Structure 1
Amino acid sequence: MAQILSPVAGAAGRGGRPAVEWRAEDPLSSPRYALAAATAPDGSIFAIGGSDNSKTGVVEVYSPRTRQWKAGPSLPHWRYRHAAATGGDGRIYAIGGGSPGGEGVFLRSVLALTPGDDHWVPVAPMPTGRQLLAAAAGTDGRIYAVGGRYYDVLATLEIYDPTVDRWATGAPMPAPRYGMGVAGGPDGRIYAIGGQGARVGSILDVVEAYSPATGAWTTLAPLPRPRAGVEATTGPDGRIYVIGGCELDLEAPPGEQCVFTTRVDVYSPDTDTWETVTGTTIAHSEGAVVTSGRRIYAIGGHTAAVESMRVTARRRVPQPPVGDSSRNLQPPPDASRTGR
């Protein structure tokens, strides 16, 4: 199932915002998790790779106008637990993850697709191969690849500039982790939210933001509840939406303590505060979340479901701090892309 979150007539939510409900739409061709997704400049959504009980290089393209999926250009090889983002050049990038060779293969490779083309092309590889990373495009058009695993849990930040096809290394996150949500905020900062730490069972509520202007991370208000396997995107209202994931249930039997959730939390960068809103109807974990137009789409994650919510609230979008190189630059069509 795929679903749309749209206002409920006559109802009101917190702060006078309209209440919302989820509605099913066109599903993926099969249940998938550990996929990645990105929004093209025309608003179409690319669901890339993942696992459907066997690893896959399938790419599907969703049209918000027709509300239907179609086949897109497949990856050269299957890829999962990777990240995706749309760069300032309008191309879609599939970044890192795992591929042929099993769990021990940590990819450095990066593929780029120009929407409308029929094939992916290799670009400069990341300095660090990794799975379970996340990535987001900043307002400067660069792509920020954050965290993940290369046997150990990583705090790594690497930054790709599409204009010169080159990676640079940024300051590491204070909290090493994987399976977090990452989003590019309208203030130019890159937000890393939740995830799993190095210790077994250490599901995190940590929220940190990286400023390209200062090259430093700042610790912010924590998630209302710790979660891993989450996805994040910046909505058209300038707030960051954190969807689904896995919560720790210490009363459950060993091996069953990671419980999938329908929870949706929304972060306001201008006030450093969180709000919990209507949850998805189906629990998503290790899925993908993107923004297209005024809707936010939650795609797959141990399910074929695709759900979207319509964002109707209008809020003041904070400006980048003085001296931030991202000031006056236009964000890419979807300022945040998630991966796993």
Structure 2
Amino acid sequence: MARVNAQRWPALLGAFLLAAACAALPDGAAAARPALVPACLTVSPYPDGPHDSWSSAAPISVQRYFLAAATDCDGTVYALGGWEATTSHPGPSDFARSDLVENYDPSSGSWTTLPPLSSARDRLAAVTDGDGRILAIGGDDASSGTAVEVYTPGYGAWQAMPSLPVEMPFPSAASDAAGNVYVFDGNETAIFDAESRTWQTGPPMPTAREGAVAATGADGRVYVIGGYTAAEPDVPTSTVEVYTPSTQEWSQAAPMPGPKGRAAGVTAPDGRILVFGGASEPGDTPTAVTYAYSPGTDHWEPAESMPHARDCAAAAVGGDGRIYLVGGTQGDSTDTATTDVNVYTP
């Protein structure tokens, strides 16, 4: 598996930030690559094959849901933690918190097992920082819900980072091209400053919620999409709120066409934010609906529905420019957890 030399990451980061700044075209412009996260990642925005379509990739090794996903600088996809099946034919009680970390290489089409997390946990968030390192953030770990770990690809085990300033058992997280990290849960906002390497408490979200999607737009703002409101934890919302790091202010964006909680989402290479599946009504019944949002026009539209209804999955962009949707549940109970990996071509 090809690896990016750690000593070259700062140079790569600067080069790609400069390229992103000089290539600002409207959302969806085929000739431009928006400010990807991680910034050191290079992809083709429109890989071969039919667009707005789904295919399959090799499955993960064991059924998992409430897991997290992130992308390495070399375009490989990480699947972290979650609830993991403890038997080959699990029932609802045959799951446990997982420390499993697997890595998918789109060029070889195979998964590799990597060093495990230091603490097994589910409902965690994962991001890639400006140096191409993978961060596992918060979640339910039978302890404090504040743990943060970091993994440097190709260089050994996971290491502890400064803990979150507040407990975040079901966080959403996004990072920007400079390596700053933004984490949201309830109405709490935590911000990791890449320069000082410390956490700060940010302005609270206007709408308290959990199980939302967080994604950084090509405009550098962070979009927090859907989730379950704290007042009604079993009722998903279509609310979209936007955090502007430069002003530390929140604003409203156009709501999704329909509510979603426990969905998966990413910023695609073409600049759109895509939101997959999740529960669209009170209770645990998942949906196959996909929505696409263009930050430049503040407009939502449908995208191709997923092959199967799914929630509690994780998503990340691969180095081939396609989006990998990993694990999750395909029904209204945990015994429908899956090893499936579906691939969306924007």
Give the SS at the match of 1:22.
strand
Task: Look up the match of 1:269.
Answer: 295
The answer to whether the aligner puts 1:28 opposite 2:73 as a matched pair is no
Task: Look up the match of 1:185.
Answer: 217
Q: Output the CA distance in 1 between the equivalents of 2:149 and 2:179.
A: 17
Greater per-residue strand proportion = 1
Match of 2:317 among 273, 278, 291: 291
Match of 1:65 among 90, 97, 107: 107
What's the offset of the Cα at 1:6?
6.9
Q: Output the CA distance in 1 between the equivalents of 2:53 and 2:107.
A: 20
Q: Output the CA distance in 2 between the equivalents of 1:177 and 1:128.
A: 15
| Amino acid of the structure 2 residue aligned with 1:137 | S
Task: Look up the match of 1:327.
Answer: none
Structure 1 residues 1-340: aligned runs within 5 Å: 7-8=49-50, 18=51, 20-52=52-84, 53-99=95-141, 101=142, 105-147=143-185, 154-200=186-232, 201-248=234-281, 257-293=283-319, 294-302=321-329, 303-311=338-346
- What RMSD in Å do the two structures reach over aligned CA positions? 1.5
**Which consecutive unaligned segments of at least 5 residues does structure 1 have?**
9-17, 148-153, 250-256, 312-340
C-alpha contact (below 8 Å) 2:178/2:194 kept by paired residues: no
TM-score after normalising by structure 2? 0.78
Which digits, 9 at most, give the CA deviation of each residue in 1:120-169, with x for residues without a partner?
Answer: 0001111011211110112332010112xxxxxx2111111234320111
| Amino acid of the structure 2 residue aligned with 1:208 | E
| Amino acid of the structure 2 residue aligned with 1:133 | P
C-alpha contact (below 8 Å) 1:139/1:186 kept by paired residues: no
TM-score after normalising by structure 1? 0.79
What's the offset of the Cα at 1:292?
2.0
Which digits, 9 at most, give the CA deviation of each residue in 1:264-318, with x for residues without a partner?
Answer: 100000000001011111222111111123111111112211111122xxxxxxx
Q: Output the CA distance in 2 between the equivalents of 1:6 and 1:268.
A: 23
Give the SS at the match of 1:41.
coil
Q: Output the CA distance in 2 between the equivalents of 1:284 and 1:308.
A: 13
C-alpha contact (below 8 Å) 1:93/1:110 kept by paired residues: yes
What's the offset of the Cα at 1:79?
1.3
C-alpha contact (below 8 Å) 1:123/1:165 kept by paired residues: no
What's the offset of the Cα at 1:175?
0.3
| Amino acid of the structure 1 residue aligned with 2:288 | T
Task: Look up the match of 2:26.
Answer: none
